[in-house]
Structures are given as C-alpha cells and as structure tokens.
Amino acid sequence: MSSEQIKVTLPDGKVLELPCGATGSDVAAAIGPGLAKAAVAVELDGQIADLMTPIEQDVSIRIFTDRDPESLDVLRHSAAHILATAVRELRPEAAIGFGPAIEDGFYYDFEVDEPFTPEDLEAFEERIKDVLEADHPFERRRVDKAEARQLFSDDPLKLERLEEFGDDEVITVYRDGPFLDLCRGPHVPSTGRVKHIKLLSAAGAYWRGDEKRQMLQRIYGTAFHKKADLDAHLERLEEAKKRDHRRLGRELDLFSTDERVGPGLILWHPRGGLLRMEIENYERELILRHGYDLVYTPHIMSERLFEISGHLQNFAEGMFGAMEIEGARYRAKPMNCPGHIAVYQSHQRSYRDLPIRMAEFGTVYRYERSGVLHGMLRVRGFTQDDAHVFCTPEQVADEIARLLDLVHEMLGTFGYPYTIELATRPEKALGDAEEWSRAEKVLADVLEARGQEYEVDEGGGAFYGPKLDFKLIDAIGRKWQGPTVQLDFNLPERFELEYVGEDNAPHRPVMLHRVLVGSMERFVGGLIEHYAGAFPLWMAPEQVRILPISEHWVDSAAELVADLGKAGIRARMEARETLGYRIREAETMKIPYMGVVGEREAEGGTVAVRTRGAGKKQEVMDRVDFIAKVVEEKESRAV
C-alpha cells in the first residue's frame, strides 16, 4: 500500500485521511468497530462498490449497513452468485448466463438439457446452506480479455458476453469458493453475510431475451437481511397468488385467451364486459364533466402517418407489420395520437378554440414477445382511455393542473393511493435537449406549486416528451402503472400543427397526452388483484343474487329480482340445487349481496340479506329499504 495519503469525506462533512489504497472496510473501522461489523457495501462518489475496493484518490463515501435500502441489491446480487455456486456443485455441466438483482429478489440463468424440477430447487436450497456455512469471501480481480477467455473457456454464454467488451475495457471477475463469475459487482464481503435466502420458482427464459436464441432455465429467488422481512415477503407472495387475476378471471368468468385467436389478445366474457362497461361509463361521465369531447379513430391507418409521427423510426419494433392495400401500406395503430392530430387538422383553429380536449377509448396493437405476455397485464391488443389536449404555451401549466385534479378524483373513486414520478428525456428522443429541459421544468413547477411530492425517473420519458407517471398502490402494497400525463413539443412540430393567434398570425400549439386507467386490460387485471375479485358493488358484474329457500317461493323471489332490475340493479335468481350449495356458489363468485326468500319473507314483503364477507350473519330487511340501500351504494360508488 502506498504511503501517499488520500482524503475521505463522510456524509456529515467530516474528512478522514487514510493511506492511498485503503478500502471501505478500513474507513468503517476508522469510524468505529460497530460500523466495521455492520458494513455491507460502500458508495464512492455516488457509485456503489465492495467494501474491499481499493480507494486510490480523494473521495466522498457512504457506508451501507442492512438499514440502508441500497444494500439489499448488493445482498441479492451476492445471493444470485451463491445460487450459481450451489447449482454448479450439483450440476457442473450447467452453462451460466446472467444473475442480477431485480425488484424484490434475484435470478440466475442456466443452460441445461432438462428443465429444473421442484426437487432440483429443494436440492439447490440444501446446498446453498453449505455455501453460506462455508463463508467464502467474495474476491474481486481485474483481468484482461485473453485471461478472461481462458477462465471461461468451458462457458459459451460467458464467452459470447466477453466478445462484447472492448480490448481496453476493464474486466472483473469474482470468486466465492469454487465458483468464478464474470461480474462487475459489487458484493457483500462473504457468502456468510447472506443468511436469509429462499428459492421461489424456475421458468424458461430465452438467452439475452431473444426468442430466436436457445431456451435457458431461470431460477428466481429472494434474500433479506432479516428473517422477519423474508417471512413477511413470503406471506405477501402467498397473498399475491390468491389474488392472481388469471386464476380469478377464470373462477369469476371475466375473461379468457384462446391460441386460435392469438396470444396476448383478450376475450372479454359477459361478466367481464359488465365490469368494463361500468368503468367506461364512469369515466365518460367524468371526462365530459371536465370539458372533453369524445372522438373515434380507425384501428388501422396509413403507414405514412406513423412516418410523420416518428413511430416508425422510434417504435418500429413495437408495431405489427404493414398490410398492403391497393399498393399502399397500412399499420394497426400502436398509438391514438396521430388520429387525434388528424382530427385537429381537419379545421383551421383559433386561439379562441383552445384548449381542445379530445378523448377516445381507442384500441391499439403493439408487438410483445410471447415470453413476456402475462394475462391481462401484458398483452398485444388493448384499449387506452386516451386523450390529447391541444393548447397554447400559456395554457400548459393550467391544463396540467387540471389533469392532476382529474387523476386525483378518478383514483379516489377506485380506492387507490398513488405516487408520482417525473420521467425525463430518454436516450432515444425527438427534439433538442434544451426543449426537453423546458418541458421537464414546466411539469416540475406545476407539481411543486401544488406541494405535490414526486420522484424523478431519469431517462423514463416517451420519445416525444417528458411525462408524469402515476403509480397505483394496491391492497398488498404493490405498485401498478396507472395514469400518465405527457408534455409534447415534438409532434406539433412534426405535423406542423397551427392555430391562429390573437395577432392573426399562425402559432404552434402544445400537445398534452394523457391516459387515466391507461390500458383497460391492465387496469382491470390490477383491479381484480387489488380487490381479490370482490369488487365494490357499483362495478360488480352481478350485484345481488336472490335465493328462494325452495320452489314454493320462486315467484316471490322472481318479483324481487324484477324490482331490483327496475331500480337499475344487476340481480338474478338461482333456484337449482340445495340452498347451502347456492350460498357457497354465490360466495365463490364474490357477489356483494345475497337475498334469501322463504315463507316469512314472501308473506312479509321482506328479504333475509347476507352481505359478502359477513359470514353466516343475516339481516331481515323490508324489500323497499333493501333496494334503496343497494341503489344508494351503487350511485355513490362506495369502495
């Protein structure tokens, strides 16, 4: 180690002087023995690194312990290597792919002849215990490309990755005990620091995400610093399984897919159709009240339109192929905005006409690889509640504020708390950086003027402009993509949009893109899981089920069903099988109310009401009062 000293600045501003080449462990030890023991990783001038990384220049440093959320990714990346160590010990022929930390866990990809079985995962978990017990240090080493080729000569997947490195690029490898991996790190000091690890599942995954490449076997797992956190996470996963919209969609007869129709294309069943209808009816009522006009545009459009919009240049991989019609090329639309622009340009517009707010439930089509399709949450055809606001530059801030009010009202109706992210200029973007900066500042200024908290998603904007993403928080704490508000200076320029200003000269309008539910399919899939299929009465496909105790009271039950129908309530009678069977079936279908009719109820004009979730408890109510109660609950859209 050199005798030269370096200055290490701590988060509180205190400066330590240490020998050049000192490590994060040395810094932690200089602060105190407790921190030295608890340290997991370090941050050096904003870059997370191992505790054993040599520090060779003046630097600002943070020491991460298990109390810091940033340390979880380091822990989980190390857990992925521990998994690979166990797999290679039991299956030495397995070629190794990538093993990153991901949200809530990690995975590692392996190339093997046969898919892994549940018994394999159990065996790997047992061997993982040995790897943890051995407490192998994670050792980092820099190598050149030739040495790396030699080290991984028996791993074709790693050799392929190596060829992507430049000849002068820094290459690092990590060893823990018998396992060596090509890896940038960082890692915890040793395998024994990963105490609470659980393998979750195995699935096929194409190498490099390319469906033309070979299928690998991906093992998913998770790891936490504390057992209580791991146990809580596993409980959440079990709850998520119970809420899986694909299973509930089948059980509640809401939707299906059919390979003959095509993967990623949803068939809405009558019950799902009623649920969707209620959502759309509510939203139409909402946006008309907020000053929108409804429009409709075609499902296919000339490819020329998408050349002007920039979609062909920037989104071609997400579009379906062209159709030749009478010598012209058409595309299934991936977005609704070009159609709305065409409506705007159908008339000359004056500043007095602006803002113009156009809304459409427009079905769009985007290519998604079959491997990522997932029920209603990731599809190839979906309906967006899309809208575009055309306004003057001076109106932008007010229109964004109006959109924030609209989003807040809508999400409150569905019972969702939410967070907001400001997504900034992506790497692939239209327009110059200065224009983007102005647009991002407008969005930030409106949020800050309202005292609205938000996070920044660097590089997460659309290719034509920055946006606000609203993340819905569901009943078990998961976040879902919800509404977006996008500020666009680019499409008006590309389409040469104009309005006549107060000075009688042409001016360029600004476009705001917004969705509220976003994809109707994804939103309903999320609602199914949020409510575990037990929807609030106003959107429930079947709101009341009437159950006569026996055939003697069928006529009286039918009269009640008719009265409910006249009041606008979706009700039906079920008289087959035993009463117990019918009650259990109604509970399985998660119907908000059951009304039992027997001799007493038929003669007294009453109904014995059972409320969803209340068990066997019944309340005998006058029928008029019961109908009024259900109507009030429906009209108030109570959640």
pLDDT in tens, 183-203: 988 999 999 999 999 999 999
Residues 175 and 204 in one domain: yes
> Quick check: is 137 in a domain?
yes
Look-up of token digits 């409150």? 412
What's the first-to-final CA gap in the chain, in angstroms?
Answer: 66
> Could you tell me the two tokens for 522?
């994804």
Q: Which residues pair with 109 in a beta bridge?
A: 218
Find out whether the peptide bond into 186 is cis, omega within 30 degrees of 0.
yes
Q: Is 508 within a domain?
A: yes
What whole-number distance in Å separates Cα of residue 639 and Cα of residue 629? Answer: 15
What range defines the domain where residue 610 resides? 537-635
Q: Which amino acid is at 279?
A: I
Helices 396-414 and 270-289: angle between axes, nearest 10 degrees: 140
Pair 48, 74: CB distance under 8 Å: yes
Q: Is the peptide bond before 355 cis (omega within 30 degrees of 0)?
A: yes
- Helix axes 227-243 and 520-530, enclosed angle (nearest 10): 120
Q: Are both 236 and 270 inside the same structural domain? A: no
The residue behind tokens 């068939």 is 267
3-state per-residue secondary structure call for 136-161: CEEEEEEECHHHHHHHCCCCHHHHHH
The yes-or-no verdict on residue 210 having pLDDT over 80 is: no
Q: Please, are residues 499 and 351 in contact by the beta-carbon 8 Å criterion?
A: yes
Residue after which a domain boundary falls, among 43, 64, 85: 64
Q: Are residues 302 and 398 in the same domain?
A: yes
Query: CA dist 114 to 79, 81, 83, 513, Å?
Result: 23, 21, 18, 48
CA dihedral 195, 196, 202, 205 (to 10 degrees): -70
d(CA 353, CA 347): 11
Q: For residue 122, how many other CB atoms are within 10 A of its CB?
A: 11
Q: Is 247 among the domain residues?
A: no
Are 108 and 151 found together in one domain? yes
Do 114 and 222 sit in the same domain of this protein? yes
Residue 1: pLDDT band (50, 70, 90) is very low
**Is 249 part of a structural domain of the chain?**
no
Q: Structure tokens of 324? A: 């030749």
Write down the pLDDT at residue 317: 87
Neighbours of 482 (CB within 10 A): 24
- Amino acid, res. 61: I
pLDDT-derived band at 462, boundaries 50, 70, 90: confident
On the 0-12 / 13-18 / 19+ scale of CB atoms within 10 A, 392 is middle
Beta bridge partners of 108: 219
pLDDT at residue 3, rounded to an integer: 62
Strand-pair category, 5-9 with 15-19: antiparallel
- Is the same domain home to 290 and 426? yes
CB burial of residue 40 (10 Å; 0-12, 13-18, 19+): buried
Average pLDDT for 558-579: 96
Instruction: Tell me: do 405 and 554 sit in the same domain.
Output: no
Specify whether 222 is located in the same domain as 171: yes
Q: Which two tokens stand for residue 56?
A: 């060779």
The chain-wide mean pLDDT, for the chain, equals 93
How many folded domains does the chain comprise? 4
Query: How far from the centroid of its chain's Cα atoms is residue 420's Cα?
Result: 13
Verify that 140 and 121 share a domain, yes or no: yes
* CATH number of the domain that residue 575 is part of: 3.40.50.800
Q: Please, are residues 553 and 601 in contact by the beta-carbon 8 Å criterion? A: yes
User: Both tokens of residue 138?
Assistant: 């994670």
206 domain-assigned: yes
The beta-carbon contacts of 403-409 under 8 Å, at least 24 apart in sequence, are 403/485, 403/512, 403/514, 404/446, 404/447, 404/450, 404/452, 404/485, 406/286, 406/287, 406/290, 406/516, 407/470, 407/483, 407/485, 407/516, 409/286
Please state, for a pLDDT cut of 70, what percent of the chain lies above it.
100
CA atoms of 241 and 522, how far apart (whole Å): 17
Q: For position 216, what pLDDT does the model report?
A: 93
- Digit-coded pLDDT (tens) for 301-336: 999 999 999 888 888 888 999 999 999 999 999 999
**φ, ψ at 374 (rounded to 5°):** -150, 95
Identify each DSSP E strand in 270-355 by its residue range. Answer: 293-294, 300-302, 323-325, 328-332
- Same domain? For 513 and 405 the reply is yes
Pair (415, 544) in one structural domain: no
Q: Give the span between the Cα atoms of 550 and 538, in whole angstroms.
A: 29
Q: For residue 55, what is the domain's CATH number?
A: 3.10.20.30
- Residue where a domain terminates, one of 242, 268, 283: 242
Asked whether the beta carbons of 511 and 388 are under 8 A apart, the reply is: yes
State the pairing for strand pair 356-365/293-294: parallel
pLDDT in tens, 78-118: 999 999 999 999 999 999 999 999 989 999 999 999 999 99
The CATH number of residue 432's host domain is 3.30.930.10
Question: Is 54 domain-assigned?
Answer: yes
Q: What is the structure's pLDDT at 170?
A: 82
Which of 501, 530, 559 is the last residue before a domain boundary?
530
Tell me the pLDDT tens digit for each residue of 406-453: 999 999 999 999 999 999 999 888 788 888 898 899 999 999 999 999
Give the pLDDT score at 342: 97
Catalytic residue positions, numbered = 337, 366, 384, 386, 388, 467, 513
Residue 248 lies in a domain: no
Q: What is the DSSP string of 528-546?
A: HHHTTT---GGG-SS-EEE
pLDDT tens across 463-499, in order?
Answer: 778 999 999 999 999 999 999 999 888 899 999 999 9
pLDDT given at position 265: 97
Would the pLDDT of 2 be above 60?
Answer: no
Q: Span 38-65, mean pLDDT?
A: 92
| Same domain for 353 and 228 | no
For position 179, which CATH number holds? 3.30.980.10
58 phi and psi angles, rounded to 5 deg: -60, 140
CA distance 475 to 241: 13
Is position 237 within any domain? yes
